[in-house]
Amino acid sequence: MNPANSAAVYTKDLTKIYKDFWGRPKVTALHDLNLTIERGEVFGLLGPNGSGKSTTIKLLLGLIFPTRGVASVLGQPAGNTVINERIGFLPEESYLYKFLNGEETLRFYGKLFKISHRELKKRVPLLLDKVGLDEPSRKRKLREYSKGMARRIGLAQALINDPDLILLDEPTTGLDPIGTREMKDLIVSLKKQGKTVILCSHLLADVQDVCDRITILFKGKMQTLGDVRDLLQVRDITQIEAKGLSPVQIEEVRQFMARMGAGNAAITHPTTTLEDLFIRVVRENTPANGDGAVAVAPAASRS
């Protein structure tokens, strides 16, 4: 089967060269990118600033046009407005109309998808709940939103059409650790629903947590591509985990390892991540709701 038709995203020799006023090449932002992202996977686009991540996203969305090469999205040429019906996009910052409030914003974007008034009436509150915007926040103008709230409403607008492909550009920027975790949980749940997610970030831990495959771009070129686990695996080190060992038993394991020829075997207690620790502390100090669920405080507003 032609990958251009079957894959969620397919690019071949995709190149973007920015030109100066006289048409002379100025910067090669992306150079011969060949990429196939399968449907249903969470794919990470990694790279430092100026590596070509955002350029790739913009090309896939038709915000800019390639200098050479092809790109197709869900079987259609990139930038085709027809295919935009099935795409959700969260830009790196929430570029939304600041004079609208949260509900108005979602209703506006819903109308662009020709979603009926009745359907919007149901879908908008659900989405606002999903991204964690409480009742008073929904009625406030976006210009009064904090960065975290703006990311949340941005995410909501990206999901208003229940898309098959979601492009998230730096989704966790501006979010507190809880928001970051919720975002990651959401990405995982989207994957479970069979959606394709393209995550563009330079927060490597986030990508590591949720992505199936990643590519690393540098200076506009693809440097590496593959499964996250494969890429991160250190093949000459073996890790053995066990629970409830006493110090005596640990010493016996160390001696056994020495006998096996692993003279400098490191046997320590594993550490949790700072993110896990933070969430645990917050949850432990938050009163439980009646149903037993842990209430997560909404992101603080600027005011």
Partner 1 sequence: MSVIAKIFAGSIASGIAAQGVVAQVTGANASLSDRLAGSFGYIIAAIIILLGVALGLADLLRLNPKRIWAIGSVSFRESIRRRVLWVTPLAMLGIIAVSQLSHPFDEQDAIRQTTKYCLFASGVVVVIATLILACTSLPKEIDNRVIYTIVTKPATRLEIVLGKTVGFARTSAAILLVMGIFSYAYLQINAAQLTSSIRARLANLPQTDQSRDTLRHYADEGLLQARNYTLPAPGGVWGVAPGLQMYAKVPQASDPYKWVFGNNEQDAIYPFELPDDLLAHPDTSLIFTLNIATNQPRPLTRREIEAEAPDPTATTRATTQGVAKYPGPPRIAVTLLNENAYAVVTPAEMMDPVHQSELKSADPEAFKNVNSVRLEPSERKGVGQAIVVVPPKPVQEKIAKLPPAADGKRRIYLMITGITLATQYGYGANAVGLSAQISDASGNPMIIPIPRTGAGGKELPPTFRGRLTSTRLQQLRGEEDRTEAPVGVFEFRQQGFSAGEDEVPFEFRTKVERTSDAQSTEAENMTRVEVEIRNRKTGYTSPAIEMTADSDRPTFFRAPRAAVDGGDFDLHLRSRTEGHFVGLRPSSVAVVSSSQSFAFNLLKSLLILWMLSVLVVIISVFCSTFVSWPIAVVLTLVILLGRWCVTQLGDPASPQQMATDLGFVNPVSSRVFTDTLGALNKLLTITAKVLPDLDQFRVTEDIERGVSISTRSLIDPLMVLLTFGTLLLILAYLLLRKKEVAP
Interhelix angle 147-159/102-112, rounded to 10 degrees, is: 30
Residue 241 Cβ vs partner 1, minimum distance, rounded to whole Å: 44
Looking only at residues 187 through 246 of this chain, which bind partner 1 when binding is defined by CB under 8 A?
none
For residues 84 and 228, which CB has a smaller minimum distance to partner 1 in the complex?
84
User: In this chain, which of 72, 157, 196, 201 binds partner 1, going by CB under 8 A?
Assistant: 157
For 81, the token pair is 């407005």
Instruction: Say which DSSP state 163 is in.
Output: -
User: In this chain, which of 81, 233, 246, 264 binds partner 1, going by CB under 8 A?
Assistant: 81
Instruction: Tell me if 91 contacts partner 1 by CB under 8 A.
Output: yes
Q: Which of 72, 70, 79 is nearest to 14 (CA)?
A: 70
Cβ-proximal residues to 213 (8 Å cutoff; 6+ apart), any chain? 37, 41, 42, 43, 44, 225, 226, 227, 228
Looking only at residues 167 through 186 of this chain, which bind partner 1 when binding is defined by CB under 8 A?
none
For 246, the token pair is 């006493």
Residue 113 Cβ vs partner 1, minimum distance, rounded to whole Å: 6
- Whole-angstrom Cα distance, residue 240 to residue 52? 39
Instruction: Tell me if 95 contacts partner 1 by CB under 8 A.
Output: yes
Helix, strand, coil % over all residues of the chain, rounded to 5 = 40, 25, 40
User: In this chain, which of 11, 15, 56, 84 binds partner 1, going by CB under 8 A?
Assistant: 84
Instruction: Tell me if 27 contacts partner 1 by CB under 8 A.
Output: no
Residues of the shown chain interacting with partner 1 in the complex, contacts defined by CB under 8 A: 58, 61-65, 81-82, 84-85, 87, 89, 91, 93, 95-97, 99-100, 104, 108-109, 111-114, 157
